[in-house]
C-alpha cells in the first residue's frame, strides 16, 4: 500500500510538472508568436525604409542633376548678362559721345542763328540775289533750249553727210544692217525692197508704246532698266536676220527710251559723229560758223 501511495504521489507530481511545463511551453509559444509578429512588422518596416531610402537616393540624384543644370544655366546667364552689360556700357559711351557732338552742333547752330539774326538785312539781300539768279538761270536755260531747237532746224536743212557735226534722228532704224542681211539671204531676189519693208516694219514696232521689252537688273550695285534679250520679238529678229540687224533695232530702242519713252517717236538731235555722242550747242554753232566762213571765202574768190 505504501508503494501505491508513493507512486500516486509521484504521478501527481509528474502531472503537475507536465502541466507546468505545458503552460511554460504555451507561454513561450505565445511569446514566440508575438516575436514572429514583431519580426514581420520590423521586416515590413525595414523593407519600407529600404524602399524609402532608395526613393530618397533617386530624388537626391535627380536634385543633384537639377542643381548642376541650374548651375550651368546660371553660368550661361551670367555670361550673357556680362555680355549685355558690356554692350550697354559701349552704347552708353556712344550715347555720351553723340550727346557731346549734338551739344557741339547745337552750340554752332546757336552761333549761326545769332549771326543770321545780326545779319538779317544781308540775308534778305542774299535771298533776293539767289531768287534773281534762279530766275536768270531759268531764262538762260529756256534761251539755250530755244537756240538748240533753232540750230537743229537749221542743221536739218544741211545735207552734208561727211560733216562731223550733223543731225541724228534718235530712235530711227537704219536700213544698212537689213540690206546686208537681205543680200546674204536673197542675193538674186528683190532684197532692197525687202530691207525697206523690214526697216519700216521695225520702226512701227518701236513706235508702239505697249511693247516694252525691258527688265530691271542690278548693274554696279544699282537697279537699272535694261533690254530684255529674252523678248520673243527681239529673239526672232536675231534668229532670222542676224546680229547686226538686232543691234540696230536695240540701239534705236534705247535711244527712244532715252529721248522719248512715252511718245516713242523719232527725235532730231545734234550729234558729234566723230566721237559718237550728243554735240554741245557750242560745237553746233562753231560748225555753222565754219561752214558760213567757207562759203564766204569761196564767193569772195
- Residue 227 forms part of a structural domain: yes
- Residue 201 forms part of a structural domain: yes
Max Cα-Cα span within the chain: 208
In which domain, by residue range, is 32 found? Answer: 1-40
Same structural domain for residues 284 and 166? yes
* pLDDT for residue 95: 63
Handedness of CA 196, 243, 202, 263 (dihedral sign): negative
Same structural domain for residues 292 and 149? yes
Site of grid cell 501511495: 5
- Residue 55 forms part of a structural domain: no
Q: How many CA atoms lie within 13 A of 28 on its CB side?
A: 6
pTM of the model: 0.52
Tens digit of each residue's pLDDT (9 = 90 or more) over 41-74: 767 776 777 677 777 777 777 777 776 776 677 6
- Residue 134 forms part of a structural domain: no
- Residue 120 forms part of a structural domain: no
Total residues belonging to the chain: 301
Distance CA 13, CA 4 (A): 14
Lowest mean pLDDT among 137-151, 179-193, 222-236, 248-262: 137-151
Q: What is the dihedral of CA 15, 20, 26, 27, to 10 degrees?
A: 180
- Residue 209 forms part of a structural domain: yes
Cα R_g (the chain), whole angstroms: 57
* Total domains in the fold of the chain: 2
Tens digit of each residue's pLDDT (9 = 90 or more) over 239-257: 999 999 999 999 999 999 8
Tens digit of each residue's pLDDT (9 = 90 or more) over 90-119: 776 776 677 787 777 777 777 776 765 665
* pLDDT for residue 81: 65
Q: What is the DSSP letter of 268?
A: E
Distance CA 289, CA 294 (A): 8
Residue 222, phi-psi category: left (phi > 0), alpha (psi -120 to 50), beta (remainder)? beta
Residue in 263, 260, 276, 252 with CA at minimum distance from that of residue 172: 252
Q: Is the pLDDT of residue 161 over 70?
A: yes
Residue 72 C-alpha cell reads as 550651368
- Residue 121 forms part of a structural domain: no
Same structural domain for residues 295 and 159? yes
Q: What is the DSSP letter of 175?
A: S
Same structural domain for residues 151 and 29? no
Amino acid at each position: 500500500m505504501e508503494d501505491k501511495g508513493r507512486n500516486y504521489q509521484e504521478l501527481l507530481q509528474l502531472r503537475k510538472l507536465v502541466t507546468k511545463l505545458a503552460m511554460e511551453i504555451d507561454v513561450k509559444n505565445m511569446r514566440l508568436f508575438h516575436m514572429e509578429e514583431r519580426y514581420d512588422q520590423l521586416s515590413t518596416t525595414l523593407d519600407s525604409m529600404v524602399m524609402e531610402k532608395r526613393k530618397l537616393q533617386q530624388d537626391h540624384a535627380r536634385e543633384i542633376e537639377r542643381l548642376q543644370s541650374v548651375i550651368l544655366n546660371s553660368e550661361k546667364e551670367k555670361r550673357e548678362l556680362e555680355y549685355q552689360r558690356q554692350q550697354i556700357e559701349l552704347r552708353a559711351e556712344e550715347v555720351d559721345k553723340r550727346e557731346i557732338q549734338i551739344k557741339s552742333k547745337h552750340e554752332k547752330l546757336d552761333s549761326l542763328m545769332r549771326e543770321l539774326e545780326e545779319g538779317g538785312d544781308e540775308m534778305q539781300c542774299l535771298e533776293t540775289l539767289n531768287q534773281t539768279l534762279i530766275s536768270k538761270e531759268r531764262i538762260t536755260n529756256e534761251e539755250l533750249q530755244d537756240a538748240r531747237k533753232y540750230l537743229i532746224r537749221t542743221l536739218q536743212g544741211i545735207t552734208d553727210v561727211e560733216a562731223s557735226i550733223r543731225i541724228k534722228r534718235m530712235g530711227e532704224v537704219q536700213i544698212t544692217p537689213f540690206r546686208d542681211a537681205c543680200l546674204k539671204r536673197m542675193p538674186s531676189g528683190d532684197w532692197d525692197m525687202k530691207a525697206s519693208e523690214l526697216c519700216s516694219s521695225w520702226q512701227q514696232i518701236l513706235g508702239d508704246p505697249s511693247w516694252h521689252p525691258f527688265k530691271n537688273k542690278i548693274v554696279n550695285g544699282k537697279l537699272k532698266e535694261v533690254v530684255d534679250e529674252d523678248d520673243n520679238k527681239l529673239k526672232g529678229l536675231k534668229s532670222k536676220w542676224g546680229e547686226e540687224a538686232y543691234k540696230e533695232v536695240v540701239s534705236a530702242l534705247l535711244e527712244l527710251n532715252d529721248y522719248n519713252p512715252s511718245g516713242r517717236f523719232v527725235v532730231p538731235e545734234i550729234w558729234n559723229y566723230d566721237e559718237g555722242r550728243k554735240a554741245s550747242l557750242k560745237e553746233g554753232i562753231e560748225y555753222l560758223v565754219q561752214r558760213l566762213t567757207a562759203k564766204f571765202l569761196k564767193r569772195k574768190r
